[in-house]
Amino acid sequence: MGAVKSKRVPRAVREQQMLDAAVLTFARRGYSAASMDEIAEAAGVSKPLVYLYLNSKEDLFSTVIRRESEALVAAVAAAVEPGATADRQLWSGLKGFFAHTAAHPHGWAVLHQQARTHGEPFTREVAAMRAEIIAFVTKLIGAAAKETGCVGELAEREVAGLAHALVGAAESLAEWVNVRADEGTSGEREHPSAKDTAATMMNFVWAGLGRLTEGGRWAPDGLAGQESASGVRR
Amino acid sequence: MGAVKSKRVPRAVREQQMLDAAVLTFARRGYSAASMDEIAEAAGVSKPLVYLYLNSKEDLFSTVIRRESEALVAAVAAAVEPGATADRQLWSGLKGFFAHTAAHPHGWAVLHQQARTHGEPFTREVAAMRAEIIAFVTKLIGAAAKETGCVGELAEREVAGLAHALVGAAESLAEWVNVRADEGTSGEREHPSAKDTAATMMNFVWAGLGRLTEGGRWAPDGLAGQESASGVRR
């Protein structure tokens, strides 16, 4: 790869290659330990070219965070079934979230583990993305309460708290699933599908542990046979 | 404070003062930006004394993480009602968790935001603490399933996933509550009590959003009047 330095590769393509290499390096080594040398080598370009295109390690990290944030938000937004009931929107959004974080484990590691702790402006970028997802979930919980005729019953503050709890739960679960996948593929440690992980989340957030331990289950509307959550009941 | 350098302060006391100052500095500035000068100044001692007692910034950070982890785990363990039903144990443990994280916002910020991203051995320390809490929650969910006669119904893997989701939810909620508290004390942004936050979590994890939006509530056994979750229904 080191030999590929042809001028014929368009700048936009080259930049994406550098960002891919940067995501991998930041995720594996951490922001502080990652070096521009390493990133350049992983991208198969010279270090001066990385500086020329992306300016500095700080700027590179910012660009990575923005790209990965936008990709994650776009994946969730694209997955949500518009016009569906609140629980189905949540279910489809969660499937999108877990599919994306499983397919982009390094991007997710950068957002979840690296970007939140290295001060401004990185923290702000991730906080903005997180706020967008939380606002969406808050709206869904509000809509769900309304659908079941429970307007005004859940105080605004509690709805916001529930949304933060739900997003934290999904983040934690996504991290766990990726770490398990990283640890190998022995029978015990296979990577659950995004759908299974989303089903675990829906059972948790929708049915609740109380109902769940009594054998109750959340299931997508009218799809109990074909698309039931039973895949996780092994 | 800078003048107090008397040899008469016992080493153990002096060390705790240094650790208190370090927690504050790491939480506010981040691990990378925090300097030993700043920590020494906040502790009211000379920098050489900090090095003498706690060796290096790395060792100081490790010691801080260990102290804060142990304090958090001890607070949760002490709060849990032994021998109670699983939901009551969870409820009391959550109250302990939210009370401790609210009372020690800087310690919590170090554990939740700083310690997980600066590589070994810090990551390992926090992971060990988190694993301990997750193991406890996993046991509780298993016990709850058993209490309701649902043995074998929840697969082991799903119980572990639920425990990770629950712990992630509690972490996210604790962070949110502390950030709100940090942002001031206007009417809109008052700090909810640990009990209210724990009630939000129990409603979320036990009743589930589905039941919650239908007006269902989790309430501690037999205490619906005196110790009901209605405090969060404003």
**Cβ contacts of A208 on chain B, cutoff 8 Å:** 204-212, 218
Q: Does B152 touch chain A (CB under 8 A)?
A: no
Please state, in angstroms and rounded to a whole number, the distance separating the CA atoms of residues A212 and A206: 9
Mean pLDDT (chain A, rounded): 81
Q: How confident is the model at residue A92 (pLDDT cuts 50, 70, 90)?
A: very high
- Among chain B residues, the shortest Cα distance to A215 is held by B150
Q: Which two tokens stand for residue A208?
A: 């609740």
Q: How confident is the model at residue A164 (pLDDT cuts 50, 70, 90)?
A: very high
Q: How confident is the model at residue A106 (pLDDT cuts 50, 70, 90)?
A: very high
Q: How confident is the model at residue B233 (pLDDT cuts 50, 70, 90)?
A: very low
Q: Which two tokens stand for residue A131?
A: 């706020």
Whether residue B168 and residue A168 make contact (CB cut-off 8 A), yes or no, is yes
User: Where does residue A141 rank: exposed (0-12), middle (13-18), buried (19+ CB within 10 A)?
Assistant: buried
Whether residue B173 and residue A176 make contact (CB cut-off 8 A), yes or no, is no
Mean pLDDT (chain B, rounded): 81
- Residue B174: closest CA among B203, B152, B196: B196
- Residue B192: closest CA among A131, A156, A128: A156
Q: How many CB atoms lie within 10 A of CB B10?
A: 9
Please state, in angstroms and rounded to a whole number, the distance separating the CA atoms of residues A212 and A207: 6
Give the residue, B61 or B186, on which the prediction is more confident: B61
pLDDT of residue A122: 82
Q: Chain A interface, mutation test: which of B172, B201, B211, most A Cβ atoms within 10 Å?
A: B172
pLDDT, average across residues A152-178 = 84
pLDDT of residue A6: 55
pLDDT, average across residues B172-195 = 74
Contact indicator for A224, A188 with CB cutoff of 8 Å: no
Please state, in angstroms and rounded to a whole number, the distance separating the CA atoms of residues B30 and B150: 46
- The one-letter amino acid code at B163 reads A
Structural domains in chain B plus CATH codes: 1-54 (1.10.10.60), 62-223 (1.10.357.10)
pLDDT, average across residues A190-199 = 82
Any idea what DSSP says for residue B190? -
pLDDT of B61-118, one tens digit each?
999 999 999 999 999 999 999 888 888 898 899 999 999 999 999 999 999 888 777 7
Residue B220 has pLDDT above 80, yes or no: no
CA-CA-CA-CA dihedral for A147, A153, A157, A162, to nearest 10? -50
Q: How confident is the model at residue B6 (pLDDT cuts 50, 70, 90)?
A: low
The rounded percent of chain A whose pLDDT value lies above 90 is 44
ipTM of the predicted assembly exceeds 0.85: no
pLDDT of A27-46, one tens digit each?
998 888 899 999 999 999 99
* B155, B207, B234 ranked by CB distance to A208: nearest: B207
**Residue whose pair of structure tokens reads 């994890």 in the numeric block:** B205
pLDDT of residue B222: 32
Collapse the DSSP code of A76 into the 3-class scheme (helix H, G, I; strand E, B; otherwise coil) and give the result. helix
